[in-house]
Structure formats: C-alpha cells, structure tokens
Structure 1
Amino acid sequence: MLAEELIVVDAASPLWNTARPLLDIALKIEQQNGSFSWHGWQKEPIDTFLQSLPVHCVLIAGVWQEDAAREQESLWLGCILEVREGAVYSVRTFTALEDAGLPPVAQLEPGFAHAQELLQLVKSSIAPVAWALFTDKATWDEWLLADKDDQQYIDKGQLLSSLAQQGRCVLLGNQVSHHRHHL
C-alpha cells in the first residue's frame, strides 16, 4: 500500500495538518492484520485498487469547507499521492505546486478552472492523473467515514460513484471511464 521509503514533499504546508492524520490511518491499516477495518477501509481492497492503476500515476483529493465568517469556501484538504507500481510513493499538498504556477492555496476555488489547471500542472510535473476527487467537506466525511456497525467491508468505490451521480462530488482523470471503482 505504501512504498518502503515514502517521500513527504512539503510537510511544512498548512494543508499538511489535514493530510497527516490520513497518512497515520493508512499506516495503521497497512500494519494491522487483514481483518482490521477503519470506517470500512481495509488493506486488501485498497491494495487491489492501487494495483489496478497505471505503473506511474497520481491520485488527487481536493476538499473545500465553507467558511461562514468569510462567506466563501476555502480549501480544507489538497493532497496529491504519487503511485508507483501499486504503492504510494510520495505525498504532497497543493502548496507544492505553487512554484510551478498554481495559484496560492488561499485563492483556489472549487471550480473547473482551478481543477483543470491543477490536473495539467500535476501531469507535467509529477505524473498522469489516474483519479481526481473534488468535493465539499460534508461529502468527504460521509464517504471517508461511512461505516457499518459490524465492521464489515464497505465498497467505498460504489459509495463514491453514488455520491458523484448525486452531484455531490466530481471525479476526473484517466481512470474514470476505464475501471470500476474498487475502494
């Protein structure tokens, strides 16, 4: 699931504060036995999904949260996972692409223009994008934290597809039309 030597590119980024707990959970899932489940996430389906990806690609998650005080949405999580041969090789936030031309994180909006710019920058500076998920925090939490009382496997890919069909998130990338979701 994770490369033996995982590279964290920009751990000083403020966005890292929301990415770090996710990495901690991934480490826990990887280190536990196969029956361990965290909110329906289990090692085997995650490994299967990662193995189904191209040899070198990127997964992106952009999550916006409404900021009532400023009456706008602000980026809460902007994470880029570089995958090589079925393992997460590096983790970085959107901040890492500011030097490559991405607008400052505080200016990123949950719209097509910034999403397209992000996809192009990632492709030219890291690797082709297999999947990109853009959503709001409520939908992210519903997907990420969906659980069953009996700790059984939840088909996270099917849940994500359902949320996308409801218009609650956007999935972009090279793999969207080629593979069934297996998360």
Structure 2
Amino acid sequence: MNLYKLGKFICSIIFYPLYRIKVVGRNNIPSDGPVIICSNHISNADPPVVGITSKRNIYFLAKEELFKNKVIGGILTRVHAFPIKRGMRDRNALRKGLDVLKSNHALGLFPEGSRQKNGEVGKGLAGAGFFALRSNAVIVPCAIIGPYKKFKPLKVVYGEPVDMKEFREQKASAQVVTDRIMEEIRQLHKIHS
C-alpha cells in the first residue's frame, strides 16, 4: 500500500466518525481526465478532508513553510503535495500544477490562500483562474461547511462543474475566473448550510 492510500485510509477512519462527515455531489467529480477541485478553506484539516471525500487522488499545493521540516516535507511530497511560495508568483509551483493537469490528474486548490476562521467564503486569489484558463481541466467547486467540532456534522459539497468555455473564448482574466469559481462555492455554502 502506498503512502497516499495509507494516509487516506487512516484519515478516513479518524475524520469520518469524529466529524460525522456527510458528502454531497461526489459524482460531480469526473472519474478521469484533468480536474481542478476548488474549495473554501476554514481549517488545517481541509486538505485531508477533501482528500478522503473525493473519488480521485488529489495533488495539493501547500505553503512552502510546511516543507522546511524534512520529515513533514518528505511525507507531504509522498502524499502528492508540492510547495508554493505565498504572496508572490511562484513559477515552479505554477509549472508543476500545469504538469499535474497535463498528466490527467486532479489538482486541489484553496483559492482564498489562507484559512477563513469565521467560516465564511472569502475572496479568492488569481491562481485558481490561472490554472483554469491554462488547462483543459474540469473545474469542480467544493464547499466545506463546518465547524470542525467533535461529533458535530461536517458537510463537504461538490458542485456541478463550472463552465469555462466562455471564459476561455473571451480570454478572461485569471481574477475574473477565480471570482466566478468563488461565487459557485459561496452558493453551495449558502444552499447547503
């Protein structure tokens, strides 16, 4: 068993009962081909929760600081995470993300860039729009509806893919595309809260 599968198994047996996770719309995630799963970000537990509730193995961007510890960095790398420098344009991370999509894998993004501790859906950074416009990936919005409290229900909702055709044809800006994705996440959050 590889480390990703082992991590998914361990996280599943811990998180599902602890947070009484309910998953809605998992079938909105395509079974194959490039896909970008864009989720709101309310907790450090969001990446493993999205990882265990998705039917695809996901490559996540993670803040560079997490990789400075060799043990943690080694584990993150083996569970398909790769570093991004926050607050600046990180060409290596952008290239790696596009390579993930070109290889028909799933890329997991938290467009807000940092946790929204109030549980609300915040403003997204342009990176999500960049990946959406520079690839042929299907964009799946995801809303995590908390809070993360022991034995209190946590809902993970995967919405229908966001149609990128018009944005790609009009050569829309990355920020405009991110704003649309965040609006989809906001609507999922509102409908399912």
Higher helix share: 2
TM (normalized to structure 2)?
0.36
Structure number with higher relative contact order (C-alpha < 8 Å, ≥ 6 residues apart): 2
- Bigger fraction of residues in strand: 1
The alignment's TM-score, normalised by the length of structure 1, stands at 0.38
